[in-house]
Amino acid sequence: MRVAILGFGTVGQGVYETLRSHRAHMSNLLGEELEVVGILIQDGSKEREIDASTLVTTNYEKLLQLQVDVVIEAIVGQQPAYHYLVQAIKSGAHVVTANKVMFAHYGQSLLNLAAQHNVQVGYEATTAGGTPIIRTLQHLLKVNQVSKLEAILNGTSNYMLTEMAVHHLSFEEALQQAQQKGYAELDPSNDINGDDAFYKAMILSRLAFGMQPNWNDVYKEGIERITLADIQQEAKRGRAIKHVATIEIREDIPRVSVQPVFLDESHPLYRVDGVNNAITIHTDLLDNITITGPGAGKLPTASAIVEDLVHCFKQQHVVPTMV
């Protein structure tokens, strides 16, 4: 299997390191040799620890000329990511992405194009890092009817709220600690204002219910206004403040909100702490099922991408779908 990686930031490096360290195991699993044949970078002047046999280039066209089997996209923003994946699919390559913003906008378009070209699209890493939400939902939807999803989708926000509750840190102290540990970017706005969770919720809405709501109708609120006093007050009432995306179908229309909520001990998301993500899926046959796992960090995201890579390769003759 010939693999190309687009982007060599935190996620791209994590994928490369994982594929290199697990190369023998992956090759045995796939039944053929796995090779990272090319990596697309933005700045060609930087030195990177990459095998000499791997093409490192700023020219995407050169990567496609390598007869790539799978393209892993780990760059930021809608473009040129979408354009690159369209080209990859048309060339006959499977694609795997961790780009939630791009996939929230163009996911269905990519899946439709992939169906036409008989290739797979993996997008587990777009929603919850190392928590296998996408494939779990795809499996449940074969038999169960899903009526509602409740999810903690941003590991940074969850980590900050946990530190404020457990160690009595102020919002500013919790944010600084998250940045020091690498859980938050220098500009943390997308994490703390709810944008990150919003895009993930749009992806899950499309998967669970076959459609997204009008984005302007979604109520979105971040955690910026939550204080230590708020958390301590709710703790006295036996409640925790969590940043939760709620996605449900009412009158055949998906309704979505992304906001801080008060949860008591009976709620399955009450004890989801640290950088963990979680989702509670309300179904007709299984009742409620909750999945929890790491949602922030280089390796959890890399794990989801590599799992997708294997799944795409093994399911290459299955028509991709979101419903």
Instruction: Reply yes or no: is the peptide bond before residue 80 cis, omega within 30 of 0.
Output: yes
* 200 tagged catalytic: yes
7 is in an annotated binding site: yes
11 annotated among ligand-binding-site residues:
yes
Spatial CA neighbour of 301 closest among 8, 14, 2: 14
Q: What's the rounded Cα separation, in Å, for the pair 210 and 245?
A: 17
CA nearest neighbour of 91 among 38, 53, 153: 38
CA pair distance 115, 113, nearest whole angstrom: 5
Nearest to 256 by CA among 111, 104, 121: 104
Compute the distance between CA of residue 292 and CA of residue 279 in angstroms, rounded to an integer: 7
CA-closest candidate to residue 88, choices 57, 115, 58, 119: 119
- The answer to whether the annotation marks 10 as part of a ligand binding site is yes
Strand pairing class (146-152; 239-250): antiparallel
Closest to 150 in 3D by CA, of 226, 273, 243, 241: 243
100 is in an annotated binding site: yes
| Residue whose token pair is 């940074």 | 156
185 appears as a binding residue in the annotation: yes
Signed CA dihedral, 284, 285, 288, 293: sign only? negative
Residues 6+ apart with CB under 8 A from 115: 319, 320, 321
Q: Determine which one of 90, 148, 200, 220 is catalytic.
A: 200
Residues of the binding site: 7-12, 100, 185
Show which residues are catalytic. 200
Residues of the binding site for NADPH: 100
Residues of the binding site for NADP(+): 7-12
Residues of the binding site for L-homoserine: 185
